[in-house]
Amino acid sequence: MMRLRTSEEHRVICNEQGFTLIEMLISMSMGLVLIAGLSSIFIADSNTSRVISSRTERMGDLFLASHLMQQDLRESKSKPFTTTTPPTSTPSILTNLNTRNVSLPSGYPSSDATFTALPYWDAKSQTLTYQTLEGNVGIFQYQRYANNSIYWLRPISNIKLFAELIRDLDTTNGMTVYDPATNKLVKTPNALGGGMRIDLKSVYRNQNKQSSALSLSFLIWPRN
């Protein structure tokens, strides 16, 4: 004879049946949505951190390079030494460079008469030339070896090679020089008397993985 299940027995049996297929599918879908959301947040945070880190690093490089350039350029003589003016024992710019066996940049001025005022920007060779009180010549050159870098010939008697000062600059306008009086690009540096505004422009990758620009400007003038 069959025995009818009591309500308590029926409830126990139902509890032992577990989840239905539909319930499992719903739970899995909700879990996947939650994981996808957390993953998106993590990726977005990672990209933001990467962009901030890249931007901060580039700006730090610009500040350091500009500080070194300002420090040396503002110590420059306003008029270069020549072999025909006192002190005669101090060599001219080209004589100093030749004595140190410096490999001159392509298109660099070939006459001391060109350097009527210091620091001197030569747009053809993309060089900033200056001279210390001791007569040693220093040169900052944009794009000497790589299109995105500035190279530095330090004004020390035994230094003859250009070393990289900063990289990851804009490959077109990484270093530009302007007349501070007219705010125009310098093409006739002789008229500036050594005073000029220098713009440095770097690039970094934004959150859309596109190149974005960072720029820094500073004024220089001869100290003496």
Task: Please list the pLDDT of the chain residue by residue as tens digits (224 residues).
Answer: 545 455 555 555 555 555 676 767 777 777 777 777 666 665 665 666 666 677 788 888 899 999 999 999 888 888 887 765 555 667 889 999 999 999 999 999 999 888 888 889 998 899 999 999 888 999 999 999 999 999 999 999 899 999 999 998 999 999 999 887 777 777 655 545 667 899 999 987 766 666 778 889 998 876 65
How is 80-120 classified by DSSP, letter by letter?
Answer: ---TTSSSTTS--HHHHHHHTT--PPTT----GGG-SSSSE
- pLDDT, residue 18, reads 59
Q: State phi, psi for 81 to the nearest 5 degrees.
A: -70, 150
pTM of the predicted model as reported, rounded to 2 decimal places:
0.74
- pLDDT, residue 87, reads 58
Handedness of CA 219, 195, 150, 126 (dihedral sign): positive
Q: State phi, psi for 193 to the nearest 5 degrees.
A: 65, 25
Quote helix, strand, coil % in the chain, to nearest 5: 35, 20, 45
Asked if 147 contacts 168 with a C-beta cutoff of 8 angstroms, the reply is no
Reading the block at residue 212, the tokens are 């974005």
Reading the block at residue 182, the tokens are 């007219």
- pLDDT, residue 193, reads 60
> Which residues, listed in sequence order, are joined to residue 152 by a DSSP beta bridge?
140, 163
Cα-based angle 171, 104, 170 (whole degrees, multiple of 5): 10
User: How deeply is 192 buried, as exposed, middle or buried, from its count of CB atoms within 10 A (0-12, 13-18, 19+)?
Assistant: buried
- Asked, as a colleague might, if the bond just before 91 is cis with ω within 30 of 0, I would say no
The three-class DSSP label of residue 118 is coil
